[in-house]
Chains A and B, each alone.
Chain A
Amino acid sequence: MKIVVCVKHVPDAQGDRRFTDDHTVDREGVDGLLSELDEYAVEEALTIAEARSASGEDSTVTVLCMGPEGATDAVRKALQMGADAGVHVCDDALAGSDALATSKVLAAALRTLEFDLVLTGMASTDGLMSVVPAMLAQRLGLPQVTLAGKVELDGTTVRIERDGDSATEVIEAPLPALVSVTDQINDPRYPSFKGIMAAKKKPVNTLSLADLGLSPDDVGLSAAWSVVEAVAARPPRQAGQRITDEGDGGTRLVEFLAGAKIV
């Protein structure tokens, strides 16, 4: 079983996240890390690969990442968790790429790899659009099986459970397939010290656009299908209104809620 996990390097959500002058995400001023939602995809891939390997089937996990030079940190974290190899698509022309361009690049990179299963997170923690998995499946002509809360495989099919508000859907697709997983699916492992040391010896293949046969005109900010015109910081939240209970606290709370037309 050959599994490829698509991962993204994102600004630390705990940090002071900003936009740059061209209204793209500032990736320089804030510490970056492997998107936490992608950790679930990596964990699921490792769990599947370990189970298959234990039953005698040769299994590998490759992580695929598109991003600037620093994005190799995300690849390394996945390798430290236990993935076998990394592919990093890195090219200055990629800066500002939208979801369509990202899916085009990832699809081109995936065509250079062998895989039975492509795993992704449910969204990135910075863009949060949650559309790249679907676009990627479309471009590669793969069944798209998204938002899995549980993944089961036999040799030729993948079956997932997708938990909705009122029902749990069970969806099956033939392999190869693309599956995105939610943050409910597992409990991602921490890299062990041994894993950190081992990761240094694992191969990371860095690819440029030219390596993938793509033109710089197809990607980046200038090729984006939509343009961010302006970015304004949200005004700071107003201090709440404090009601001190002087015997009439309940009444005044109801008055407040009624005034806001909540009750």
Chain B
Amino acid sequence: MTTSVSVESSFELSRDHEDFRRVVRDFAAEHVAPHSAAWDAAARFPVELVPRMGELGLFGLIVPEEYGGSGGDFTSLCVAIEELGRVDQSVGITLSAGVGLGITPLLTYGTAEQKARWLPDLVAGRALAAFGLTEPEAGSDAGATRTRAVLDEASREWVIDGAKAFITNSGTSITSVITITAVTGRRPDDSPELSTILVPAGSAGLVVDPPYRKLGWHASDTHGLTFAGCRVPEANLLGQRGAGLRQFLATLDDGRIAISALALGLARACLEACVEYAGSRVAFGRPIGANQSIAFAIADLAVAVDSARLLTYRAAALKDRLRAGDGSVDRAQVAAAAARAKLHTSTTAMDAARLATQVHGGSGFIEEYPVARYYRDAKILEIGEGTSEIQRLVIARGLGLPVD
């Protein structure tokens, strides 16, 4: 069956979204942009910024009011990620992961007790949560998950052994809980039973490995995790036992739209940097933007950024209609729109970063202008939350192609 999203092209950002965009833009200009270069150079996670983002309501955008959120829509979250990402990709991913991977699984699958325990601090920005899916041997191929959780019948505790890789927000000084996927048994057909378990930060047997040395996203917090006989209460199971695969697949769809918004922010920043530099940098007696080779390349980028914006907010609008219970939208449509948005926008972001550094010439290669940072930060966008190849696989399967 072909999953069609092409008819879904009617959406627009409301006045509220644009008002909110202005607020986040002002916030980013005042509290983020002046520090981004220094945070990047020092590879320092700006933990002090997180509560300020919480005050602005960024972590609670899609959270109901009873947990301190504002009961807003997913589109608002994308607006916030885009605007933060326009000045600082590390801060953008901190928000994106904090909400999409940290808060959303708890909100969607948590019991009343689990939500009451964890959500208020996460929403306020007093704490961050992480999602541990990827393993050294298992990325999008989650069926290959090796981390095991065995229920100790005597103590009613899960005993967890294994390792996770590339886990965002997992090692900050305010990380409160890490949601992990683990094999909790075998199904009748001998396939692994995958479940999701909440591991509080500081649990005995949980080792947070030293931070990675990354190409980009220097000011975001990313660690590997090692579990060695880590024990957590049986009640820390998130959602149903054996539902881990389904739960994380839903999480990934949201994450792809959010990463698309993040990539959109970077692409816009690169476009703006291109226009400004090409209009002011003089070579051979005229601005370099007077050369068609440069002006036309920037014109093409403007079109690509526009189309990326439309794809991103179409996916977000579909997601919002699904959330609102609109029966004419199903999950497959959202997944297809998310994959298309993420594929195109991350490609555009990488192209934009390449062009921006090229337009800046030698200055683009040194850390004097932010475009060098944009270049380093862009690559991960084609990799995280499913590589471009995975997105193409999702899209091709949606078209009904017999692709492996």
Binding site for B on A (CB under 8 A): 76, 80, 189-197, 200
A80→B57 CA distance, assembly (Å): 13
Determine the main DSSP class of A at the interface with B.
helix
A197→B60 CA distance, assembly (Å): 13
Are A191 and B27 closer than 8 Å at their CB atoms?
A: no
A152→B395 CA distance, assembly (Å): 63
B61 neighbours in A (Cβ, 8 Å): 193
Minimal beta-carbon separation of A177 from chain B (angstroms): 31
B55 neighbours in A (Cβ, 8 Å): 189-190, 192
Minimal beta-carbon separation of B31 from chain A (angstroms): 9
A134→B76 CA distance, assembly (Å): 42
Are A190 and B70 closer than 8 Å at their CB atoms?
A: no
Chain A minimum-CB-distance residue to B30: A190
Are A193 and B72 closer than 8 Å at their CB atoms?
A: yes
Are A197 and B16 closer than 8 Å at their CB atoms?
A: yes
Check B144 for interface membership: any CB of A closer than 8 A: no
B23 neighbours in A (Cβ, 8 Å): 80, 190-191, 196
Across chains A and B, which 8 residue pairs bring their CB atoms closest together, nearest first? A192-B57, A194-B70, A193-B57, A193-B70, A190-B23, A193-B72, A196-B19, A191-B23
A80 neighbours in B (Cβ, 8 Å): 19, 23
Minimal beta-carbon separation of B14 from chain A (angstroms): 10
Are A191 and B19 closer than 8 Å at their CB atoms?
A: yes
Binding site for A on B (CB under 8 A): 16, 19-20, 23, 26-27, 55-58, 60-61, 65, 70-72, 76
A190→B20 CA distance, assembly (Å): 10
Q: What number of A-B contacts does a CB cutoff of 8 Å give? A: 40
B71 neighbours in A (Cβ, 8 Å): 197
Chain B minimum-CB-distance residue to A191: B23
What are 19 A-B residue pairs whose CB atoms fall within 8 Å in the complex? Answer: A76-B19, A190-B27, A190-B55, A191-B19, A191-B20, A191-B23, A192-B57, A193-B20, A193-B58, A193-B60, A193-B76, A194-B60, A194-B65, A196-B19, A196-B23, A197-B16, A197-B70, A197-B71, A200-B16
Known A-B contacts A197-B70, A197-B72; A192 and B56 likewise in contact (beta carbons under 8 Å): yes
A198→B27 CA distance, assembly (Å): 20
A215→B99 CA distance, assembly (Å): 55
Minimal beta-carbon separation of B173 from chain A (angstroms): 24
Minimal beta-carbon separation of B119 from chain A (angstroms): 15
Chain A minimum-CB-distance residue to B79: A193
Are B16 and A194 closer than 8 Å at their CB atoms?
A: no
Given contacts A189-B55, A194-B70, 11 further A-B contacts (CB under 8 A): A76-B19, A190-B23, A190-B26, A190-B55, A192-B56, A192-B57, A194-B60, A196-B20, A197-B71, A197-B72, A200-B16
Are B19 and A194 closer than 8 Å at their CB atoms?
A: no
Chain A minimum-CB-distance residue to B54: A192
A189 neighbours in B (Cβ, 8 Å): 55
Minimal beta-carbon separation of A34 from chain B (angstroms): 11
